[in-house]
Copies of this chain bind each other. A is one copy, B any other.
Amino acid sequence: MKRNYIFAPGPVAVPPQVLAASAKPMIHHRAPDFDPIFKKCSEGLKEIFQTANPVVSLASSGTGAMEAAIVSSASPGDLILSVESGKFSQRWGLLAEAFGMKVERISVEWGHDVEPQQVADFLKAHPETKQVILELCETSTGTLTDVKAVGEVVRGTDALLLVDAVSGLCADELRSDAWGVDMVGTGSQKGIMLPPGLGFVSISPKAQDAIKASKSAKFYFNLAKYLKQLEANTTPFTPAVSLLFGLEASLDLLLGEGMENVWARHARLAEGARQAMKALGCEIFSANPANTCTAVKVPEGVEGGKIVKTLREKFGMTIAGGQDHLKGKIFRFATLGWYNQFDVITIVDAIEQTLALLGHKAERGAGVKAAMEYFDKN
């Protein structure tokens, strides 16, 4: 009777009612039965993205959604500013280069947030910049970007602001329209609590103009096609129907809770997790921690590479380790999607046991107690 727990920053656990919805009998996506479902999904997503602009759905992972956003709104030779502070933000510069765009990078120390002034200086020196790309949450380090502040800086320029919210959406506050974000890309398997396989992109009027002017090579990820078909409440290519059935159900859950409450829940869970780690004598890796996932420095004397393995083998729990130069130096666990405070207690208890097994000295129960105390008071 082995039980599995996913505490990795996506794919996340999917609520059973969402799994059940995604197993409904197939219907044809061009038949009238599909119309109200797709309409409900497209409208509900606007609330999730906090936008009045269209949000398109693609059959792809989150990377596909980001490719659609980047490639559809730029042309070869265009200058793109990529703010890179970890493994995932590095991907978008490489992607844009693969399509012939010229990429300049602001490299931020991993675990730190970009200074908005750096972006402002760059845009002043390079007013021809077409896109500024950054992360809501850099998943590899559990670090939040101050998207609102960067939005202020980009708003008055010719550049589009593209935000990779693949892991962060729902867990960390993002107000697309209010903060001047032109395009937000995400995947289904994170805060939206679905299995992977759907990508979503929101598109501002400024981005729609850029899409009209784009000359880059694209077909499946050409957002002009998706925008046109969205007006007819459909998609240019066969949509992932069963995952959209699931999306209807997950939107019911998220919008029933309300986005302000969804953000507040994630903030509370993440803070409880951070308090617990500190009480165990562990340091939070990020200088500006996100609520999506918590990156923790491996305490001295513990073999970092064994933490993920022990949690999996002893407790059936999947968390994530560090990537690249952080391999063995940090471990990361998410409080993302369908989670509550008892899930935090569960993972903290297991981490306590794991660290103790690997030689870390801490009072047994100190982490759980700190989390409980925080939850009791907040």
Interface residues of A (CB under 8 A from B): 4, 6, 8, 10-14, 19-20, 22-33, 59-64, 67, 71, 76, 94-95, 98-100, 187, 189, 195-198, 216-222, 237-243, 312, 318
4 nearest A-B residue pairs (beta carbon)? A197-B240, A195-B242, A23-B23, A217-B217
* B318 in contact with A28 (CB, 8 Å): yes
Q: A197-B59, A217-B100 are in contact. Are A237 and B64 (CB under 8 A)?
A: yes
Complex CA–CA separation, A25 to B220 (angstroms)? 30
* A196 in contact with B19 (CB, 8 Å): no
Contacts of A6 in B (CB 8 A): 26-28
In the complex, the count of this chain's copies comes to: 2
Contacts of A219 in B (CB 8 A): 63, 67, 94-95, 98-99
A237 to chain B, nearest CB (A): 4
Contacts of A218 in B (CB 8 A): 98
Complex CA–CA separation, A220 to B222 (angstroms)? 13
* B196 in contact with A59 (CB, 8 Å): yes
* A197 in contact with B242 (CB, 8 Å): yes
For this complex, 15 residue pairs linking A to B, each with C-beta atoms less than 8 Å apart, are A4-B31, A6-B28, A11-B27, A14-B242, A26-B195, A59-B64, A61-B220, A63-B220, A63-B237, A67-B219, A76-B217, A98-B218, A187-B238, A195-B241, A216-B217
